[in-house]
Structure 1
């Protein structure tokens, strides 16, 4: 019974967390977005399998660009942090609107941790 309880805690409360830290949040179409993924370990060691990141439109969650997928086969110790550089070239044809990056950290037994980070795309101003 104790083992079952520990597995439930390990799968929920003790899970790793993903955060996408961007250098800025406002861009023009075609601009390069930079920052880093920060993975924070949970209460227990977890095996990470992949990291996915999609640029989605704010209105209907439709993909607005190519996805980023990083495959990894490593363990993250309890309470440890890992930083992975991030760069993404925005498509030239984006309209002025709000978009967001949806990041998924996939680990043990198909479990996922999902984060969302909004950005704003504006048209360039000509002086």
Structure 2
């Protein structure tokens, strides 16, 4: 048991997060709905927070800009080998540029534990005209 605990601190067998969205295409100002799916690892882990950034990426310019961040603070313990869902709602800003060519958007999600490495997820979305 102690060996599994130390291995999870290195990220092996730790809990994982996945943002599941209802769809991939949105308009500026629209509400994004979905849920965070958290799968427990091999040992119980204490969760500190879930961070989810909306990121605008310009591939040609090789730069990323965080547009907005949503943080859920918690002291919840993630039990081993469980599957939990936490609702997700995010209101997109009205002033977003449309996705086109080298400009795209994605949600970068991090599951931050009291001890151990973070679990990360990335979900691309497309912004179209209203």
The Cα shift of 1:82 comes to: 1.2
TM norm structure 1: 0.88
Per-residue CA distance 1:22-79 (angstroms, 9 max, x = gap):
0000001111100001111001110111000010012222112x31111110111111
Work out whether 1:24 is the aligned partner of 2:27: no
Q: Paired residue for 1:108?
A: 114
Q: Paired residue for 2:40?
A: 41
Q: Paired residue for 1:122?
A: 128
Q: For 1:119, what is the secondary structure of its paired residue?
A: strand
Moved beyond 6 Å, runs of 4+:
none
Matches within 5 A, 1:1-127: 3=2, 5-11=3-9, 12-59=11-58, 60-64=63-67, 66-97=68-99, 98-109=104-115, 111-124=117-130
TM norm structure 2: 0.86
Deviates more, 1:109-118 or 1:98-107: 109-118
- Separation in 1 of the partners of 2:56 and 2:80? 34
- Equivalenced residue count is 121
Aligned in 2, Cα 1:63/1:29: closer, same or farther, shift over 3 Å? same
- Extract unaligned runs of 5+ from structure 1: none
Residue pair 2:4, 2:43 contacting (<8 A) in 1 also: no
- Separation in 2 of the partners of 1:48 and 1:41? 11
- Separation in 2 of the partners of 1:24 and 1:57? 18
